[in-house]
Structure 1
């Protein structure tokens, strides 16, 4: 598979991932976020500028994410991890992310409420793929560059 195939799998099949950053005290901080768009080169996500997640990304623009496809058992799943630096894009591509993820209009129903949303993308990252749907398990690595 090519990088773009892994990014499509990440956005379309996995979508929700666990994201890890570092808090101001140097401790790990995790949360679940959605990978909302991919352009064949990188993946995009957003957060509200009022959240601690946003502040952590601004202070240390480095993140690690991991997600799994759905499946009835572990042997029916694929996993992707990305670890690298991110770029703050502000409002750039916000319309694209909103259009591709219409559920955001339920969470942020007004233009006023959407003013807090800020877009980020991986600027450079190392990706790992692990596929348990085949034996022996298939592993691969790939790189993301914005």
Structure 2
């Protein structure tokens, strides 16, 4: 299975476990929504005041894990990037996720 197939499966699952690293170097996991998949990229949102956002700013290495209804596990890891033109992306994400 290639990366694009994994991403599409993650979008179908929608709610996934998403790990960041805190300021002390410890893993922190939470459930997030996969908001959009496009061009081999996964898009998600976080509010600026949350620990999740702060952790992404300190260390952008992330990992996520989910399980399909058929008990197939999908794992994905990479580096998160803050997007330019945030209004465009926020509008786009909420259009895709009413």
TM-score, normalised to structure 2, is 0.87
Q: Which moved more, 1:59-68 or 1:21-30?
A: 21-30
1:85 Cα offset (Å): 0.9
Alignment length (residue pairs): 96
Q: Which moved more, 1:56-65 or 1:76-85?
A: 76-85
1:6 Cα offset (Å): 2.1
1:2 Cα offset (Å): 4.1
CA contact (8 A) 1:7 1:40 kept: no
* 2:86 counterpart of 1:87: no
Higher-helix-fraction structure: 2
- After TM superposition, which residue ranges in structure 1, 4 or more long, deviate above 4 angstroms? none
TM-score, normalised to structure 1, is 0.61
Q: Determine which structure has more spread, i.e. the larger CA radius of gyration.
A: 1
Higher-strand-fraction structure: 1
SS at match of 2:24: coil
Ranges in structure 1 where 5+ consecutive residues have no aligned partner: 71-75, 103-146
Alignment of 1:43-62 (within 5 A): 43-62=42-61
Could you say which residue in structure 1 is the equivalent of 2:29?
Answer: 30
